[in-house]
Chains A and B, each alone.
Chain A
Amino acid sequence: MKFINLTMVAAMTAATLATAGAANARDQIQMVGSSTVFPFSTAVAEKFGSSSKFPTPVVESTGTGGGFKLFCAGVGEDTPDIQDASRAVKSSEFETCASNGITMTEIKIGFDGIVMANAKAGPAFSLRAKEIYLALAAQVPNGNGGFMANPNKKWSDIDPSLPDVAISVYGPPPTSGTRDAFVELAMEEGAKAIDQLADLKKDDKKKFAAIAGGIREDGVYIEAGENDNLIVQKLEASPDSVGIFGYSYLEQNGDKIKGAAVDGHKPTFETIADGSYELSRPLFIYVKREHVGVIPGIKEYLAEYTSDKAWGPEGYLSEKGLIPLPDDMRAEMAKTAADLPELKM
C-alpha cells in the first residue's frame, strides 16, 4: 500500500542524506570555547566574512573547558581550528593537546573586567577585596587562629561603613570561567589581606585555596546561571542585591545598574584598561598551528582580529566591551599572530 511506499521513500532519503554528509571538505574556519570571548570572536568573524573572499567562520559557545576538549581532540578537518578562552590553558589541557599531536599559539586579545553591581535604586557600594572575601567565603577566621562558618548576614556586619542591608549576591556557577576569575582576583586577594590567611598560604597552599575560594552555600550567594542578562534583570527586581558579571553588561545597562567600586576604583573602561581596577582578567585565543594553511583563511582571520580597527582602543571590539591591551603589548601580540610561534609549557 501507499503507506509502505511512503516509509520506504523516507528511509531511502534518510540513507542518502547520511552518506552525502561525509563527503565535502571544510572551507570555513571553526572556533569553539568561552562564552565571554564569543561576542568578540563572532564580531570579527562577521566582519571577516563580509570583507574577505573567505566564508564567515563558525563560532561555537561551549565554555572554555568544553572548548579545549574539542580543540584538543586531534588534528584534522573534523576538529576546531581556534579556541576562545577566558583563562590561560591549563597544563592538563596542554598535555592532552600535545599527546594528540597539536601545537598551538597563544594570543592575548584584551581584558575583561568583572564587576559587582546593583540596581540604581539600591545603596552605593564601595568594597575592598578583604570585604568581598568576608562577605562571600564559606569559612572565615574565628579570631583564635581557627575557622568558622561565615556569620556575616549584613554588609554592615563586616564593616559599619558599608550599607545596612542583607548580603545577597547573584553570581555565576562553578562551571563558569567568570567564577574562576572572580575567586582568583577578588576572594584570594581579599583573603591574603588577612594575616592569618596570609600565613596559611605560606604553610599550606591547598588549604588556603579551599578556604579562600570556597563560596558560601547558605543562600547568600545565589548561583544565577551563565546568563548575565538574567542577573541584570534580577538586580532590578531586588535593589539591595549585588550581581557579579562581565563589564560589557554594565556598560550596556548603565541606565539600570551601577558598578561597585573595588579598592577605591569604580569599574570604567579607563580604570580597567590602565589596571587600577583590579578585577580584570586577560582573554585569549589559541590557534591550532597544524591547521594553518590547511583550512583556508586562518592567517587572514587572525590579521583581522589583531588589526587596530578591530582590537584597538577605537576599534569595533571595544564597542562590544573588550578592554584593549596596552599599545606595546598589542604590537607584540600582533606579531605573534603573524608569526604563530609554538606555545611551550
Chain B
Amino acid sequence: MTDMTMPKTEGLAVSSQAYRKRIKKRYAAERRFRAYGIAAIAVAVAFLIGLLGTITAKGAPAFLQTNITLNIFFDPEKIDTENLNGVNFQAMARNALYDMFPEVTERREKRQLGQLISVAADQQLREMVRADPSLIGQRKDVQLLAGDDLDLVVKGTYDLSQPEAERPVSDVQVAWIDKLQAQGHLARGIAWPFLTTGDSREPEMAGIWGAVMGSLLTLSVTLAVSFPIGVLAAVYLQEFATKNRWNDLIEVNINNLAAVPSIVFGLLGLAVFLNFFGMPRSAPLVGGLVLALMTLPTIIIATRAALAAVPPSIREAALGVGASELQVVTHHVVPLAMPGILTGTIIGLAQALGETAPLLMIGMVAFIVDVPANFTDPATVLPVQIYLWADSPERAFEARTSAAIMVLIGFLILMNAIAVVLRRRFERRW
C-alpha cells in the first residue's frame, strides 16, 4: 500500500470552480437525503405518539372505577347460611341505598336509584359473607362497585348539558350522584374486576383477564407446534436437502403459504381439526394449531435466512476438525443462527397474537365469561375481545376497548422484550 502515491493536487481539477460546485452539490444532496430520512422518522413517531396518545387518553379511565360506600345490614333473617347462592344480596345493597334517600318512594324512581349500584354487588357481598360468616347480624360500611352510568357521570363521559331524554342518565340520577359525591360516599379505586375477570355484558364487571389467559394458552400451543416443526423443516431444507425439482416445489409453496389470507387457515382448521379430528370448538388448543399453521411459513423463511447468513467458513472449519454433518448443524450453525431464528419466531407469534379472522370459524370469536384454565376450555383472545367490546352499544365499553388495546400492546412489548433478552443470551455465547 505504501508504494501507492497520493495524487498530486496540482494540475488536477480539485481547486477549480466547477469541482467545488460539484462537491457542494453532492454534500447538499447528502444533507437533503438525511433530512428526508429524519422527516420520515418524525412523521412515523408523530403518528405513533398520536395513536398511543389517543388510546391511552381514552383507555386510562377504564383502569379506575368508582366505588360506592353503603351501610349494609347483614340481616340474619334473610341470610340462609345453608344456601348462600339463593340469598338476594342485591336487594340488601339496594335497601341500604334506599335508606340514604328516604324521599324516593315511587317504584320507577326506586328502580333508577337501584341502577346506581352494579349488579356485581350481589356477588361481592356473597363472597364477603362466605369468607367471614361472623358478618351476619352486623351493620357495616362496605365499598361496592358502582353501576356503569354512575361511573361515567363521575368520569365526565356524558354530556350533561343535553336534554334529559337524550342521554342515558336522568336528571334525578345526576342529582343523586352529586349528592352521594358531596357526602363522600363515592371513591375511586383501581378497577380490579377489569384486571382479574372474564368478559361480561355489564361494562363495570367486564374484565380482560379471560382474554389474556386465552391468548397466553393459544400462543403457547402455537409456539410449541410451530417452533420445532418450523426450525427442523428449515434446517433440513437449508443444510441437508439436495437441490432438485421436488425441493424447489416445496420451497415455492412455503413462500406462497406465507401470503395466504389468514381466514383460509381458519376454514382449514374447521374442516380438519374440528370436523375430522373432532376437537372441541372455541378451544385454545385448536386456535393455537390454526395459528401455528399460519406462523410456520414465517418461521421457516426467517430461519432459512438466518442459517444462510452463517459464514461457510464455520461449517468448513467444523468439518475440518472432524465434526459430523449433524454436529456441524447442531453445535455450530443453528446456535449461531439462533438470534435470527428467534426474531423470526417472535415476529410470527406477534402476528398470530393479533389475528381474529382465522379464529372466527373455529368458534373463538365468542362471549366467554369463565377464565380459561386449560387448553380445552372455551376461550377467546385479546384482539377478539377488543372487537367484541368495540361493537357493544354500552358507552362504558368505549374506554374498555382502548384499555384492552393498551393491554394488547403491553403484551406485544413484553414478547419483544423476551426476544431481545434471548437474542442477547445467544449472541454472547459466540
Taking Cβ atoms with an 8 Å cutoff, the residues of A that contact B are 1, 3-4, 6-8, 10-11, 13-14, 17-18, 20-22, 24, 26, 28, 30, 32, 35, 38-39, 41-43, 45-46, 49-51, 55-56, 58-62, 66, 73, 78, 80, 120, 226-230, 246, 248-249, 251-256, 258, 314, 320-321
In the complex, residue of chain B having the shortest beta-carbon distance to the beta carbon of A226: B391
- Does B280 sit at the interface, judged by CB under 8 A? yes
B150 to chain A, nearest CB (A): 15
Chain B residues lying within 8 Å of A251, measured Cβ to Cβ, are 168, 393
Q: Is the CB of B278 within 8 A of A60?
A: no
Beta-carbon contact of A61 and B280 below 8 Å: no
Q: Are A228 and B376 in contact (CB under 8 A)?
A: no
| Nearest Cβ on chain A to B272's Cβ, whole angstroms | 11
> B138 contacts the other chain (Cβ, under 8 Å)?
no
Interface check B56, CB cutoff 8 A: no
Pairwise interchain contact B369-A252, C-beta atoms closer than 8 A: no
Residues of chain B from 300 to 349 with CB closer than 8 A to chain A in the complex: 330-331, 334-335
Complex Cα gap A49–B378 (Å): 14
The answer on a CB contact under 8 Å between B201 and A46 is yes
B370 touches A17 (CB 8 A): no
Is B227 a contact partner of A61 (Cβ separation < 8 A)?
no
Cβ 8 A contact of B393, one of A30, A39, A58: A39
B162 CB–A CB distance under 8 Å: yes
Assembly CA distance A59 to B200 (angstroms): 12
B residues adjacent to A (C-beta < 8 A)? 85, 111, 123, 158-159, 162, 165-168, 200-202, 221, 223-225, 227-229, 231-232, 274-275, 277-283, 285-286, 289, 330-331, 334-335, 360, 363, 365-370, 375-376, 378, 388, 390-395, 398
Q: Nearest Cβ in chain B — how far from A303, in angstroms? A: 17
Q: Tell me, in angstroms, the Cα distance from A6 to B330 when the chains sit together.
A: 12
In whole angstroms, what is the CA distance A310 to B167 when docked? 23
Given A10-B227, A58-B367, A255-B375 contact (CB < 8 Å): no
- B residues less than 8 Å from A229 (CB atoms): 390-393, 398
Q: List 19 A-B contacts (CB under 8 A).
A: A1-B330, A3-B334, A7-B232, A8-B228, A11-B224, A43-B201, A46-B201, A58-B366, A62-B360, A78-B280, A227-B390, A228-B391, A228-B393, A229-B390, A229-B393, A251-B393, A254-B168, A255-B158, A258-B166
State whether B391 touches A35 (Cβ < 8 A).
yes
Complex CA–CA separation, A51 to B89 (angstroms): 13
Contact: A49 with B330, CB < 8 Å? Answer: no
- Give chain A residues whose Cβ lies under 8 Å from the Cβ of B229: 11
Q: Most B CB atoms within 10 A — which of A30, A60, A61, A253?
A: A60
Residue of B nearest to A52 (CB): B85
A120 is contacted by which of B162, B388, B394 (Cβ under 8 Å)?
Answer: B162
Bound-state Cα–Cα, A255 to B285, Å: 44
Known: A30-B281, A229-B390, A321-B393. Is A10-B228 also a contact (CB below 8 A)? Answer: yes
The answer to whether A58 and B282 touch (CB under 8 A), given A255-B167, A256-B159, A321-B393, is yes
Known: A14-B225, A21-B285, A78-B280. A252 touches B360 (CB 8 A): no
A254–B378 Cα distance when bound, in Å, is 36
Question: Smallest Cβ distance from B296 to chain A, in angstroms?
Answer: 13
Min CB–CB distance B294 → chain A (angstroms) = 15
Q: In the complex, A253 Cα to B166 Cα: how many Å?
A: 8
Interchain nearest-CB distance for A78 vs B (Å): 6
Instruction: Tell whether, in the assembled complex, residue B224 and residue A60 are in contact, meaning their CB atoms are under 8 Å apart.
Output: no
How many Å lie between the Cα of A59 and that of B275 in the bound state? 19
Chain B nearest Cβ from A238, distance in angstroms: 19
Q: Are A22 and B277 in contact, with the CB atoms below 8 A?
A: yes
Q: Which residues of B contact A80 (CB under 8 A)?
A: 281
Query: Nearest Cβ in chain B — how far from A244, in angstroms?
Result: 15
Supposing A10-B228, A21-B283, A58-B378 touch, asked if A254 and B221 sit within 8 A by C-beta, the answer is no
Residue of A42, A51, A228, A230 with most chain B CB atoms under a 10 A cut-off: A42
Whether B286 pairs with A21 at a CB distance below 8 angstroms is yes
CB-nearest residue of chain A to B160: A255
Could you tell me if B123 and A24 are in contact, using CB atoms closer than 8 angstroms?
A: no
In Å, the complex CA distance between A43 and B225 comes to 36
**What CA separation (Å) do A226 and B366 show in the bound complex?**
16
Q: How far is the CB of A21 from chain B (nearest CB, A)?
A: 5
Most central of B231, B232, B367 by chain A CB within 10 Å: B367
Beyond A56-B370, A58-B368, A228-B393, is A50–B123 a contact (Cβ under 8 Å)? yes
A14 and B232: CB pair below 8 A?
Answer: no
